[in-house]
């Protein structure tokens, strides 16, 4: 099973110039693994960066930034929207029996949400804004809720924000007046306009975490970033064991984010559904 995410949609629009099989969010069964026979027959999820493990970057503990890496379904490696694909066994993680396939597909984006707490120490007293109510934004808000911070999620869709409100997370529509001065702002809108909005909401000496990847350019007044001494932090892939633990312990709701499931042969129709306004996660299944 594979998930369609915003990065897949942006690749269709020209992001990364990728040509090949799309897909990097998945759960599957290992059919062959000569170097890891214990994995054969197991349900697994996997990291997307196929790193070399030998360069200076890998040896210092930053394999996701390996300059020699290729990236599943994004850069020089065919992805998961197929009956079979290959990935180094060192990138695979067995899925707990209590986590259904439909949840396991969310491991990669949930790990990306967890990466924020790996990079930033968020205190319960911090005022934090998550900007964007797409799939990733909803996961980020749920992860940050676990820190006990003063959290506000902002988006454009009442039905999406309702998913968070049901979990006790404070929400607000983007069209309403938003109080600036947040300690930490997470930009997850998937749009260039979101950067400007996020920048306007963070306080001087605050932190702006950038999670969006999209095809296009962003305009940013770097002089104001310098004057206000704002920390800009790029945030991408994250820890899979942590994400799997959150799913296993049911600390994050992903079921509510599933909009539809299509068979693989109806992939084009699935993408049409995925880009429709207001739609959240669309899944592809080979079962």
Tell me how far apart the alpha carbons of residues 262 and 130 are, in angstroms, rounded to a whole number: 30
Task: Evaluate whether 48 touches 2 at the Cβ level (below 8 Å).
Answer: no
Q: How many CB atoms lie within 10 A of CB 62?
A: 12
What element of type H or E holds 7?
helix 6-12
Please give the pLDDT value at position 195: 87
Q: Flag whether 191 is in a domain.
A: yes
Q: Note the pTM of the prediction, 2 decimals.
A: 0.95
Per-residue pLDDT of the chain (287 residues; tens, 9 = 90+): 999 998 999 999 998 899 999 999 999 999 999 999 999 999 999 999 999 999 999 999 999 999 999 999 999 999 999 999 999 999 999 999 999 999 999 999 999 999 999 999 999 999 999 999 999 999 999 999 999 999 999 999 999 999 999 999 999 999 999 999 999 999 999 887 888 899 999 999 999 999 987 667 778 788 999 999 999 999 999 999 999 999 999 999 999 999 999 999 999 999 999 999 889 999 999 98
Do 279 and 13 touch, CB atoms closer than 8 A?
Answer: no
Residue 37 lies in a domain: yes
- Angstrom distance (rounded) from CA 275 to CA 144: 27
Q: Do 136 and 210 lie in a common domain?
A: yes
Structural domain that includes position 8: 2-106+254-285
Residue 245 lies in a domain: no
Question: Would you state the pLDDT for residue 222?
Answer: 86
Nearest-5° Cα angle at 28, 134 to 7 = 30
Beta carbons within 10 angstroms of residue 253's beta carbon: 15
Q: What is the CATH number of the domain that holds 82?
A: 3.90.180.10
247, 104 contact by CB (below 8 A) = yes
How much is the pLDDT for 215? 67
CA distances in angstroms from 68 to 7, 50, 87, 202, listed in the order given? 21, 8, 15, 35
CA distances in angstroms from 139 to 125, 221, 224, listed in the order given: 21, 29, 30
Residues 122 and 96 in one domain: no
């Amino acid at each position: 099973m594979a998930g369609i995410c915003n990065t897949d949609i942006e690749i269709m629009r020209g992001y990364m110039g990728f040509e090949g099989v799309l897909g990097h969010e998945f759960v599957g069964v290992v059919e062959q693994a000569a170097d890891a026979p214990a994995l054969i027959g197991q349900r697994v999820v996997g990291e997307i960066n196929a790193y070399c493990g030998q360069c200076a970057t890998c040896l210092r503990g930053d394999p996701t930034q390996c300059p020699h890496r290729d990236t599943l379904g994004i850069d020089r490696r065919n992805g998961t929207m197929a009956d079979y694909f290959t990935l180094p066994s060192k990138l695979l993680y067995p899925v707990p029996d209590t986590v259904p396939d439909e949840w396991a597909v969310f491991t990669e984006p949930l790990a990306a949400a967890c990466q924020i707490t790996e990079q930033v120490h968020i205190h319960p007293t911090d005022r934090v804004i998550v900007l964007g109510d797409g799939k990733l934004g909803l996961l980020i808000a749920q992860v940050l809720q676990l820190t006990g911070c003063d959290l506000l999620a902002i988006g454009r869709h009442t039905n999406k924000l309702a998913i968070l409100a049901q979990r006790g997370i404070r929400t607000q529509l983007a069209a309403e007046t938003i109080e600036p001065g947040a300690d930490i702002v997470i930009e997850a809108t998937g749009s260039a306009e979101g950067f400007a909005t996020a920048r306007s909401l963070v306080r001087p000496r605050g932190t702006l975490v950038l999670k969006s990847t999209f095809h296009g350019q962003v305009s940013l007044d770097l002089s104001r970033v310098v004057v206000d001494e704002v920390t800009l932090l790029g945030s991408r892939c994250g820890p899979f064991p942590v994400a799997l633990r959150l799913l296993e312990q049911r600390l994050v709701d992903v079921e509510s984010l599933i909009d539809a499931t299509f068979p693989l042969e109806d992939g084009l129709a699935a993408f049409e559904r995925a880009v429709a306004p207001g739609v959240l996660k669309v899944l592809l299944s080979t079962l």
